[in-house]
Amino acid sequence: MDRHVAVTGASSGLGEAIARAFGAAGDHLTLVARRSGLLEAVASAFAGRARVAEYDLATSDPAAWLPAAEAAFGPVDVLVNAAGCQVIAPFADVTPAAADEMTAVNFRAPVRLVRAVLPSMRARGVGAIVNISSIGAAAPPPYMSDYVATKAALAAFSESLGAELRGTGVNVLTVYPGPMNTPMGAAGLRTYGNAPSARMMPMGDPAGLALAVLRAVDRRRPRLTYPRGYALMRWLPPPAGFLVSRFGPRPVTPSTPGTR
């Protein structure tokens, strides 16, 4: 389709899967993450249509990579905020540094990046912004207080902005993934040991979510929940939140920050 699609967290997990889906559709890609080797591996599948921006979004200026990206491929047509980090542990055991990193990567960076690309999108009357939140924003599980707070903030920002931009030509897609078969998802599951309630949670496929995101962007949808079975948690948050808080698994060992 020859759009310029910028994807954060593109080195692995959901970000990588989404980048590959847009690349397979014929778009130009700017791949943003800290691990250049993994980014280069993704970019190699789309020679001449993908560039790597090795960058840490937790820095004070998460949009510093953008001017070079736009010089190479033109204004960003689709921004996908997929980078994320997570710690699963009792609140008292989460260090201030880890909490600050989740806030910076999961919320501050997406907002700053939207602020950077939106003026051009509005001037052209076309564009798409994809914000990857979490189903935990609707039904917050215990032992993820900092993480779900950042994802709930991102969801509220995204839904509000989407309503504000209706009719401008710029569409905002808010994505609510459930547990996913990603490195971060696997790291999260390991913290619960062999808890039956953890093993019973339906796990989503990153490639499946990536194709759903691609279709939702093309169809200008406002939100997407994946896997679909988790949609009830967003529409019925009080009972879903009760069940999650009462019967959700407890971590055996704290997780370390992980990237989708």
CA dihedral 61, 125, 226, 110 (to 10 degrees): 10
Which of 11, 55, 143, 151 is an active site residue?
151
Report the distance separating Cα 208 and Cα 194, nearest Å: 26
Which of 143, 147, 192, 226 is an active site residue?
147
Cβ pair 91, 146 in contact under 8 A: yes
CA angle 50, 20, 167 (to 5 degrees): 90
Q: Is 147 a catalytic residue?
A: yes
Which of 133, 134, 158, 255 is an active site residue?
133
Closest CA to 14 of 225, 211, 209, 144: 209
Q: Is 151 a catalytic residue?
A: yes
Report the distance separating Cα 142 and Cα 251, nearest Å: 10
Instruction: Supply the residues annotated as catalytic.
Output: 133, 147, 151
